[in-house]
Amino acid sequence: MQELIPYLPNFLLIFCRITAFFVSAPIFSTRGVPPTFKIGLAFFVSFILLASSEMEKPPITMDSDYILAILKETLIGLLLGFIAYIFFNAVQIAGSFIDIQMGLGIANVIDPMSGVSSPIMGNFKFIIAILLFLSINGHHYMIAALVRSYEIVPLGQGIFEAIATGAPNDHMIRSFASMFALALQLSAPLVVCLFMTDVGLGILSKTAPQFNIFVVGVPIKIMVGFLLLLLVIPGMLFLFQDLFQSMFEAMEQMMNLLRASPSAS
């Protein structure tokens, strides 16, 4: 215990980064995960990380710069978690595109993971994405990426110099663009097929005006959408693998961009 007490400032800084990550990262930040579990998991991960690697380094002193160090660690954790959260939102956006084409855009449901209203197809795909992510132990890889961040951006290293260059901001904008590109890839098969269904219904309304296209078209589009969804579900595995790979690559790029010069404080 006497050996651990001098490293209490180090532990608190580690705890700040890991807690901020669990608050903003997908899976861990959902409403279904109790706050006590998040705090307890962050505590034990911080303790393991302190005992495994940080005790080899000199302890950090609590001086006037310690509050600034807390802000730095919290910001790093929030940035890494938010980058991962951005890519998971691509699934919800893809579901919104599909719902608009199927005619379900006005019918939203409450997402039990976030507690907000979300599109039906987006909620369905989001649940599939979470199950696939957990099945491949993606949450373990996410924690491993967080632990690796201490190798790239050690405790006490300045990040404001890197942020001042604008590189992390540009990377965040590119991540948003990648999120929409991935959302289009996830929704493209159904959106294109449903668009062709609209074209066919438009031709039918011209050739047979006696059909009430508004009454017949909506059920047809819903049935076609669900049939196509059954066909594309097996291929979602490869699309979600690309999504998860892009997410981890974006997290690693953000860590590299936050790496300051060795002389930074």
- Please report the pLDDT score of residue 108 as a whole number: 62
Residue 264 lies in a domain: no
In the chain, at which residue ranges do the beta strands (DSSP E only) sit?
108-110, 117-119
Residue 265 lies in a domain: no
Helix (H, G, I), strand (E, B) or coil at 145: helix
pLDDT one-digit tens code per residue, 140-160: 888 888 888 888 888 877 777
Task: Give the total number of structural domains in the chain.
Answer: 1
| Spatial contact of 191 and 98, defined as CB atoms under 8 Å apart | yes
Residue 51 lies in a domain: yes
Residue 42 lies in a domain: yes
pLDDT grade for 261, boundaries at 50, 70 and 90: very low
pLDDT grade for 265, boundaries at 50, 70 and 90: very low
Per the listing, tokens 């532990």 go with 11
Q: Is 20 exposed, middle or buried (0-12, 13-18, 19+ CB in 10 A)?
A: buried
Residue 163 lies in a domain: yes
Q: How many residues does the chain have?
A: 265
The DSSP output letter for 5 is: G
Amino acid at 194: L
Query: What global pTM score does this model have?
Result: 0.79
pLDDT grade for 183, boundaries at 50, 70 and 90: confident
Helix (H, G, I), strand (E, B) or coil at 32: coil
Residue 263 lies in a domain: no
**Parent domain of 243:** 5-258
Residue 183 lies in a domain: yes
Residue 63: is its pLDDT beyond 60? yes
Residue 264: is its pLDDT beyond 50? no
